[in-house]
Amino acid sequence: MMGVDECRRLARLYNLERYLFDEVSARFRRDGTLSVADFYAIIVWKSNRTKTKIKKALKEAGLSADTLMSQVAGAQDDITRLQLLTNVRNIGLPIASAILTVCYPDRFTVLDSRAWQSAVAEGMPGLPDAFPETAPEYLQYRDACQAFAERVGLSLRDLDRALWARSWEKDLQELIADNPAEEKPVEEGIPTTEPKPAPEPKSKVKIHVAVYLVSRLLAGKKKTFTAKELIDRVRQEFDDWRPGVGSYVSSHAVANANKGTAVVYNYLWNISYGLYQCFDPKHHSPHPSREDAATEPDPGDVPLKYRYLLPANN
């Protein structure tokens, strides 16, 4: 049976973010590395579904988590720290930035699709032209956040929380706006009937269509659509859902076109899948972590009835 001390220790783990920034961050400053458990605690916080992929990649590279983090601690500059982490397969900039934010909370901020969208919507000066995909682009984003945080009197960490919360709150407000009728107390003696479920919105179907188009391309059936045709079709579907969203999505896809068609396909897949998830809140984890937007969704995360939307090679 758990004793008092064990219960208190486990209770601290429940609030994972507080545990990471209060205890793990302090241990890194003291020891100059992370334990394997602390390293994977950060991965679980940022992108739970990638933990086994990263563990496998480290094993293939002949690296342990603590050795990797010792190298990071010994690096001479921030760009080298980023590159040491992103050189490991399956550690992209979002996960690397999360690791470094825990270790160096005054010098790094989490690269996250929610925070990025809020920063763009707020017109934050100095941002890169599109979601950062290279270490220099990330550092430009970090510098823009640092300057903005200083201007408004926040720590870099609190600004990241504020940006993330802005996006979360916006989603909540949209949910409330789509369901304006509030529940009224039932008067005693008055029978009630359950309302019939609303039909699936056409806009939801359109998001599924967009996901399906991207899925077909990722499955290797690229002869059906050119990149331009795909971008145009996705723009149309998204604009039918929310005016302006399609233009925003497609402009970022076009801006990334010079980085290769795979980047465009992956970008469209990620944002389509993200929007699909927004339309299926009942499938969200009850204790969600901040997911890595640059990581391809795990087929196991997708409800069975929508698995046909996934690329065939999954």
pLDDT for position 164? 92
pLDDT for position 274? 58
Residue 274 CA to residue 211 CA, distance in Å, equals 10
Nearest to 88 by CA among 109, 64, 106: 64
Residue 235 CA to residue 240 CA, distance in Å, equals 9
pLDDT for position 2? 83
- Mean per-residue pLDDT pooled into runs of 10, the chain (314 residues): 87 88 94 94 92 94 94 96 94 95 96 92 92 94 96 94 91 75 48 45 50 54 55 65 61 61 62 55 38 41 46 42
Residue 159 CA to residue 153 CA, distance in Å, equals 9
Query: From the DSSP assignment, how many helices (H) and strands (E) are in the chain?
Result: 15, 0
pLDDT for position 91? 94
Residue 73 CA to residue 43 CA, distance in Å, equals 18
Nearest to 265 by CA among 253, 252, 274, 275: 253
pLDDT for position 271? 63
Give domain limits for the chain: 7-108, 113-177, 202-309
pLDDT for position 279? 47
